[in-house]
Structure 1
Amino acid sequence: MNKVHLVVFLSALILATACRDTQQNKSESSSSDTVALAAPPAPEWAKNATIYEVNTRQFSPEGNFKEIEEQLPRLKEMGVDIIWLMPIFPLSQENKQGTLGSLYAIADYDDVNPAYGTLTEFKSLVNRAHALGLHIVLDWVASHTGRDHKWVSAHPDWYLQENGRMIAPTDPQTNRSTNWKDVVALDYNNPAMRRAMISTMQYWVKETDVDGYRCNMGGFVPNNFWAELRPELDKIKTVFMLSEWENEAAQFKSCFNMNYSWTIHNIMKAVAKGVRTADKIDSVREVNQQRFPIWYYQMLFTQNHDENNSNGTLTETLGAGADAFMVLSCTLEGMPLVYNGMESNLNKRMSFFEPDTIPWGNYAKSDFFRTLLTLKHRNRALWNGLAGGKVMKISTDHDEAVYAFYRQRDSDRVVVLLNLSDHPQTVHLMGDGFTGMYTEIFSHQPIELKSEMTATLKPWEYRVLTN
């Protein structure tokens, strides 16, 4: 670094250090806004949104669009903003898995599964969602189709082949075949196929007014396709794009507003099982901050359909700490996911290829989610990406067990204290950036935080404080 650059750097550092909290936030906001011009467009409503996953065929005994539409007011009241619908399309029958087949073996991109209802009924669902201020995101499978998709016979050259036979997708990380028997891989070197894929994705935005896509196995598709797709969708309206992938940082620049945080999820499971300490969460976050652009944020989750089916229920994966880790997912930098059924304490592995219905019960966890998601709506410190505040760790004398931090945006601040262990903890809160008067959102009790004060937490206890 030459002397001129060094002087500029030190001057900026001194100026930043001298600023008060509010001034610093304003400075960061201005700088971040300039940098974010390189980010893909994002709809305004995404800045403080929460996403909710729906499996149509499991969501009700009827398994159709009408039953989802009837539940939309309840989800809105709970604080949900985005409804992610798992694939709603007709399913391939060749080599299908189980009785029902995989939702990700698509037979036709241009129609709805007749078991769920009609296209008119789907449009009614979207319209009702929009009337309530909700948004609909479709689950899209771009890397492969079912073996009897209409493209297979009409355009066999749109598929990857070996020795004249269509093949399953290849994992780009291992370069090995997935050996998925019910699907065949699309060839993204074929310009005609790419145009058709863009056209059919435009169709759902134009004709049904959906608000974006959750892209299954987003890394199985070349990033230059996502870069080609995004402006074509935004010509219709600014969409919200979620990638089910974490290992391609360039996706944040080409197309996507958010990706999966598998790394945060995995470290949460490791902490829950006692094989990692709470402070290791910071190591994961630091790696992500280094590899992703400044405007990135991720979907944070404790459960989804893959986890539930493959690895188990919340009780099996997170044990007694399940609620504490959900609090963490709702307050860290990122957008929380609520998996359908969680608000009724879903505690079973849902069968993915056979008929199965969520045992709804009495929605016993609705108040828990409503409290967290309402705070995310109202307190700007918890907003997504550059709209929110950065996580500032609060040091304790037991960081291996207690994860403490605060976030601030302008005059809004949230303090989070989590005992991520199965033992009671008494800790000293060090520093002074978090001091002040607060209200704990679950107990509604006022509390004053002071530097060097002592806090005692029961095993897996959490406290969320707002000013």
Structure 2
Amino acid sequence: MAVVAAMISCKQETKETTAQVETKTEDKNVIQPITNDIIETAVIYEANIRQYSKEGTFDAFTKDIPQLKELGVKIIWLMPVFPISETKRKATGGKDSKFASEFPEEERAKYLGSYYAVSDFKKINPEFGTIEDFRKLVKTAHDNGIYVILDWVPNHTGWDHTWLTTNSDFYTKNDKGEVIHPEGTDWTDVADLNYDNPELRKEMISDMSYWITKENIDGFRCDVAGSVPTVFWQEAVPQLRKLKDIFMLAEAWEPELLEDNLFDMGYGWDRHHTMNHIAKGEEKVAAWHTNYEKDAKRYATDDILMTFVTNHDENSWNGTIEERMGESSGLFTTLSYLVPGMPLIYSGQEYGLNHRLKFFEKDSIPKTKGKEWSLLKKLASLKQGNPALNGGKQSAAYKVLEANNENVLAFTRTKADDAVVFIGNLSKEKQSVTVKVEGDYTDYISGTTITLKDKESIELKPWQYYVLTK
């Protein structure tokens, strides 16, 4: 039997299906509203503009947007594009955290700070280009049938934001009346916002509305959304949705944020962590089943979780895919596409990025297409072409298959007459397994026919997996 790769699924709330038609309105390109049918097979791409290219500009990224269609990308999530505060600008992170001001003056220029220390929510970071360059990026994405969402930072601002002088009551203060950074964090380069203040809520909604009405963006990925009171989202999101049909992604796991048409998708953090633990040999397949069962109980059937093997935080702070997953990276990348949810590609993942991108300084990703690009392209083709990987309110079924080996994960995704079977060895040792499934299947990679018999064992090499279609 040959090794294989690929498949997926995704989930979300029902939205009326419409064709993607492009029109001109007030010199802005308009793409038809994002629909449930589109989200069923969508891949989301996290664009780190600073590190995507040597130039670190909107234009350098824009020219590559058309080829992202090969990877099934339907949503581009732009990491924060706003100006970054200079006051208390970070130069290093973690336990050795230091401000740029602590380094010699001639060295400070290289420390560009955290994207999440925003100094103005309605301006563009000049590091990336101009507002015209940004508009060109959005237009190019829309021309290619791809939506653009902005990374929004509602929990805090940088220390240069004008609100600190004009509206200090927007911020959380200590007993001495001093504005503080978010409690319980080392985010000393930002000032914590106080959502008890109704005027702050009003201003934040106004700033978010600006990007929808003036710059035609298609939604938001909201940073640490669970740290912002749910009542704010209950106030804000309905107002934003009145402006346009938008896609809302919460960097959060709280089920209540996916209720009442607030956020369309949350983070599958537990799934991600479970994959890391299994890859390191700390857990077995039972941990995956336990996590999945927990998700099935706490989330509604039409909730979507973003599935991923890396993102900007994981790469910079916890390690590359290779560091965390090693030889199992292909298997877990494939798994992130096969289970219900929407798969994420982080800038550089498609090119086999194998170093931790600097967070506060300029860096860049490789640009040579290799096995990673080929795998993601093949997975996208399967996701888009096989209804057994559909998500949304008409999600394809996910069913665990009975297997007599604690290191082997086996499940099916089915819809009507379509089926996909995943059988994978989630360990670094050879495994033999008997899977309770029968029939003739096609190995998605090789195109050969494979016959599974109820009592016939399958031999699997370390981290070997099959994606079988019927």
Same fold (TM > 0.5): yes
**Cα–Cα, structure 1 residues 122 and 453, in superposed 2: closer, same or farther, change >3 Å?**
same
Assess if the C-alpha contact under 8 Å between 1:138 and 1:212 holds in 2.
yes
Secondary structure, aligned partner of 1:416: strand
Runs of 4+ in 1 over 4 A off after TM superposition: none
Assess if the C-alpha contact under 8 Å between 1:301 and 1:337 holds in 2.
yes
Alignment of 1:130-279 (within 5 A): 130-162=142-174, 163-170=176-183, 177-246=184-253, 248-254=254-260, 255-279=262-286
CA–CA distance in 1 between the matches of 2:127 and 2:444? 42
Report deviation, 1:444.
2.0
| Equivalent in the alignment of 1:464 | 467
CA–CA distance in 2 between the matches of 1:232 and 1:135? 20
Q: Could you tell me the percent identity over the aligned residues?
A: 40
Assess if the C-alpha contact under 8 Å between 1:440 and 1:466 holds in 2.
yes
Assess if the C-alpha contact under 8 Å between 1:303 and 1:314 holds in 2.
yes
CA–CA distance in 2 between the matches of 1:373 and 1:217? 28
Task: Name the one with the larger helix percent.
Answer: 1
Assess if the C-alpha contact under 8 Å between 1:105 and 1:182 holds in 2.
yes
| Equivalent in the alignment of 1:53 | 46
Amino acid at match of 1:86: M
Report deviation, 1:42.
7.2
Alignment of 1:420-459 (within 5 A): 420-430=426-436, 432=437, 435-459=438-462
CA–CA distance in 2 between the matches of 1:346 and 1:278? 27
Amino acid at match of 1:375: L
**1:402 pairs with one of 394, 403, 408:** 408
The answer to whether structure 1 residue 64 and structure 2 residue 60 are counterparts is no
| Equivalent in the alignment of 1:353 | 360
**2:349 pairs with one of 342, 346, 353:** 342
Alignment of 1:246-325 (within 5 A): 246=253, 248-254=254-260, 255-325=262-332
CA–CA distance in 1 between the matches of 2:409 and 2:61? 37
**Cα–Cα, structure 1 residues 385 and 453, in superposed 2: closer, same or farther, change >3 Å?**
farther
**1:76 pairs with one of 58, 69, 72:** 69
**1:417 pairs with one of 410, 423, 435:** 423
Report deviation, 1:446.
2.3
The answer to whether structure 1 residue 128 and structure 2 residue 145 are counterparts is no
Report deviation, 1:186.
0.9
Report deviation, 1:159.
1.0
TM-score normalised over the length of structure 1: 0.87
CA–CA distance in 2 between the matches of 1:179 and 1:279? 35
**2:122 pairs with one of 96, 110, 113:** 110
Secondary structure, aligned partner of 1:395: coil
> Which segments of 5 or more consecutive residues in structure 1 lack a partner in the other structure?
1-28, 34-40, 171-176
Assess if the C-alpha contact under 8 Å between 1:333 and 1:385 holds in 2.
no
Amino acid at match of 2:73: V
Secondary structure, aligned partner of 1:92: coil
Assess if the C-alpha contact under 8 Å between 2:268 and 2:307 holds in 1.
yes
Count of equivalent residues: 420
TM-score normalised over the length of structure 2: 0.86
CA–CA distance in 2 between the matches of 1:120 and 1:436? 56
Assess if the C-alpha contact under 8 Å between 1:440 and 1:446 holds in 2.
yes
CA–CA distance in 2 between the matches of 1:217 and 1:87? 13
CA–CA distance in 2 between the matches of 1:299 and 1:258? 7
- 1:136-165 deviation digits (Å, cap 9, x = unpaired): 111110000001112211211111111211
Amino acid at match of 1:450: K
CA–CA distance in 1 between the matches of 2:290 and 2:344? 22
Report deviation, 1:363.
4.1
CA–CA distance in 2 between the matches of 1:258 and 1:451? 38
Amino acid at match of 1:165: E
Assess if the C-alpha contact under 8 Å between 2:424 and 2:463 holds in 1.
yes
CA–CA distance in 2 between the matches of 1:459 and 1:445? 22
